[in-house]
Structure 1
Amino acid sequence: MNEEEYASNVYLLQRYQENMEEIYGETELIGRLISEYERVIETLQEMSGIEEKESLIPIGGNVFVYGSLKDTKNVIVNVGRGVLVEKPVNSAIDTINKKISDLKKSQEKLFKTADEIRLRMEEISQKLRDKDVQVPPKKD
């Protein structure tokens, strides 16, 4: 293996490592979104059937205001592109479960891509180990 091939393989390993870090970051984000959606479903199930209840409503920055839940049978759901739709709780839960399913599919694709990249990295690393890598010193 000459110096150019060696440098090319090292560069590829670095790029693959960067790709792996990006993929793992995306899978972590997706995991957090899934957890958030699962908590929303739990909350919707708990509040379903409650006639009227006083609650704390988050307004941002960990600040809350008191408010009353007047209608716990219907909720407003963002169905995409900023479109908000009023839905019965059960329908909203179905919509959220679909989002969770889509996120899990995306996460699985990312894991599969990461596995493929990992295999390529192992192949390149093995190639570098197998070839008695002797990088000749640069001549001035």
Structure 2
Amino acid sequence: MERQIPISELTKDQLQILYDRMEQELEHLRNSLRTLNMAVSRLQRSLHCLDSLSNKSEGSQVMVPLTSSLYVPGSLKDTKSVLVDIGTGYYVKSSLEKAEDYLKRRLSSVKKEVEKLQQLLSTKQEQHEYVSVALREKLVQTTS
């Protein structure tokens, strides 16, 4: 069973260690939030692409991405199915409707994770501020 120690009983060095650990944890949470927000953006772009693909017919001219900054001209051969990235380098051929359903479910799931992480980050930032204030008070006490 964990024993809780009031923050006022911690020494200046203990508070500094706690502050530094919390700083690292906050940075990790911020990085995770950035990653999730990038995933939301990618999923939204994918849904937009599916929507624009549904308006195209076979033989339509498109620009095909080879890298994030290199596109080549191409033409659509099949407008009824797409390859969907399901993670870790695996792709599944799917109809437009099923792909859209999958992407919407995935987007909803990732958005829920973003909300949870934002709440956790907010709580951790408040705790970090509390430790910061306590550390400043200890520093003032030791210099007086």
Pairwise CA RMSD of aligned residues? 2.5
User: SS of 2:61's equivalent?
Assistant: strand
1:9 corresponds in structure 2 to 15
Q: Which moved more, 1:93-102 or 1:120-129?
A: 120-129
Query: Which structure 2 segments of 5+ residues have no match?
Result: 1-7
Q: TM-score, normalised by structure 2?
A: 0.79
Compute the displacement of 1:115 (Å). 1.9
Match of 2:94 among 87, 91, 105: 87
Q: How many residues align?
A: 136
- State the percentage of identical aligned residues: 27
> Is 1:29 aligned with 2:35?
yes
Deviations 1:80-137 (A, max 9, x none): 343322111111011111111121122122212212212222332343455684227x
The question of whether the paired residues in 1 share the 8 Å contact of 2:12 and 2:138 is answered with no
Report the more deviating stretch, 90-99 or 101-110.
Answer: 101-110
C-alpha spacing 1:63/1:131, structure 2 compared with 1 (3 Å): closer
Q: Which runs of 5+ in 1 are unaligned?
A: none
Query: What TM-score results when the alignment is normalised by the length of structure 1?
Result: 0.81
8 Å contact 2:12–2:139 — kept in the other structure?
no
| 1:96 corresponds to 2:108 | no
Q: What is the alpha-carbon distance in structure 1 between the residues aligned to residue 139 and residue 85 of structure 2? A: 59
